[in-house]
Amino acid sequence: MIDFELNESQKMIISNLDKNLEENFDLRIENKKADGNKNNNHGWDEIKALGFLGLLSSEKNGGLGLSFFDFTLTLESWGSKLCDGPYLENSIIIFLLEKMNNDYSNNLIQEISSSKKIITSIISEQFIGKEQIPMIYKENNEYFLEGNVKNLPYLEQSTDILILALLDNEKKIVIVDKNKLRILDENKTITGQSLNDINTEKLLISKNEIIESKEFEFAEFYSMLFTLAKCAESVGIASTVLNMTIEYVKNREQFNKPLASFQAIQHSASDMYTKLSETREFVRYCSKLSIDDKNMKKYVSLAKIKCDEELSKIAWNSHQIHGAIGFTWDYGLHLMTRKLLLNKSLNGDSLLHSEIQLQ
């Protein structure tokens, strides 16, 4: 049974976050970013200032001790305002470190929650096999990291990176100071987000930099939660697309009538609303599950399939209703579409997640 209601605390958190994210949103800056002329991570400073990096930290580690469901609600707001920055990565890392519950993980949580340490990661893409996995080898009782990491986001905003590496063919999680790394190249996504290729050739690492997780498979759980988080973000983006569409058809006239009065437009808008509502509630349902639930992996994959298929249709239907203005630079709908398509390209496609349904 899905509980569709939010409690008063959740409503207050979302209202406060919406207000803060709306204040500094500038469409002109976002357009410059999409054009590759400006590096901008709207919402990132606001998230840190509000203390939301500690949203999933326990109170003993200086955080708010909220649930993963609460976190995904903030991601709907985050997505709706086209926010960018390593908020998802650090929150999920904190959530998993809390499960480990040892001195090292607790200290790391406290550093991340207070923004003393900011981590970026590409583990999810490494785990599904789309990106290279470096090797760890041992020589004279010392550990070395060897290999390249491609398409790493948010390197400029981070102090450390978290990557998947192989030690004797076993998957290990390694945290590395970014100052030790050599940057090979910089690329841009369709939203203007910077991605870096880095080299770890013969990089000396300490044993402490290899995170041992005996309780669970860190990389698998990270990939699953990151996929779910991106789904919640996409739901937020699609909600803005729907709101823009509704405002447009209410105010735009054709044949001396509002567009909203035409039955074909009403049917299309209703279809968009239904797709969004169904997808949102299923993503929220998944975020309420325990990560120990044996069905969670399949449910998250199903949520990813639904987001990829339904939310992109909402964007294209919106463009069809808007007509030419929807593609203009100053209107902003294209920014939402770009972000939805970028999220669709991450964390595996529908074929991969359909195969998970058959396992």
Per DSSP, 263 falls in state H
Return the pLDDT at 230. 98
**Cα gap 35→29, rounded to integer Å:** 10
Mapping DSSP onto H, E and C, the string for 17-70 reads HHHHHHHCCCHHHHHHHHCCCCCCCCCHHHHHHCCHHHCCCCHHHCCCCCCHHH
pLDDT tens per residue across span 82-118? 999 999 999 999 999 999 988 999 999 999 999 999 9
Burial zone of 147 (CB within 10 Å; 0-12 exposed, 13-18 middle, 19+ buried): middle
More confident residue, 17 or 24: 17
Q: Are 222 and 124 in contact (CB under 8 A)?
A: yes
**Cα gap 306→128, rounded to integer Å:** 19
Q: Are 338 and 34 in contact (CB under 8 A)?
A: yes
Q: For the chain, what's the residue count?
A: 359
Average pLDDT across the chain, whole number: 93
- For residue 149, the SS3 value is strand
Share of the chain above pLDDT 90, in %: 79
Q: Which residue has the tokens 């326990």?
A: 58
Query: pLDDT tier at 213 (50, 70, 90 boundaries)?
Result: confident
Q: What are phi and psi for residue 204, nearest 5 degrees?
A: -75, 125
Return the pLDDT at 130. 67
Share of the chain above pLDDT 70, in %: 99
**Cα gap 238→333, rounded to integer Å:** 10
Report the predicted TM-score, pTM, of the whole model to 2 decimal places.
0.94
Burial zone of 331 (CB within 10 Å; 0-12 exposed, 13-18 middle, 19+ buried): middle
**Cα gap 266→339, rounded to integer Å:** 26
pLDDT tens per residue across span 266-289? 999 999 999 999 999 999 999 999
Return the pLDDT at 122. 93
| Domains by residue range for the chain, with CATH | 8-117 (1.10.540.10), 121-211 (2.40.110.10), 218-357 (1.20.140.10)
Residue 144, strand partner residues: 137, 204
More confident residue, 197 or 254: 197
Query: pLDDT tier at 69 (50, 70, 90 boundaries)?
Result: very high
Q: What is the largest CA-CA distance in the chain?
A: 82
Q: Are 190 and 341 in contact (CB under 8 A)?
A: yes
**Cα gap 283→103, rounded to integer Å:** 33
Mean pLDDT value across residues 5-10:
90
- For residue 290, the SS3 value is coil
Q: Are 88 and 201 in contact (CB under 8 A)?
A: no
Mean pLDDT value across residues 164-175:
92
Mean pLDDT value across residues 237-244:
98
Q: Are 198 and 181 in contact (CB under 8 A)?
A: yes
Per DSSP, 346 falls in state S
Angle at 82 between CA 29 and CA 122, to 5 degrees: 105
Position 1 pLDDT exceeds 60: no
Range with the lowest mean pLDDT among 91-95, 292-296, 299-303?
292-296
**What is the secondary structure of 157-222 as a DSSP string?**
T-SEEEEEEEETTEEEEEEEEGGG-EEEEEEE-TT--EEEEEE-TTEEE-GGGEE--SSS-HHHHH
**Cα gap 243→22, rounded to integer Å:** 15
- For residue 291, the SS3 value is coil
Query: pLDDT tier at 255 (50, 70, 90 boundaries)?
Result: confident
Q: What are phi and psi for residue 144, nearest 5 degrees?
A: -130, 145
Angle at 347 between CA 119 and CA 310, to 5 degrees: 125
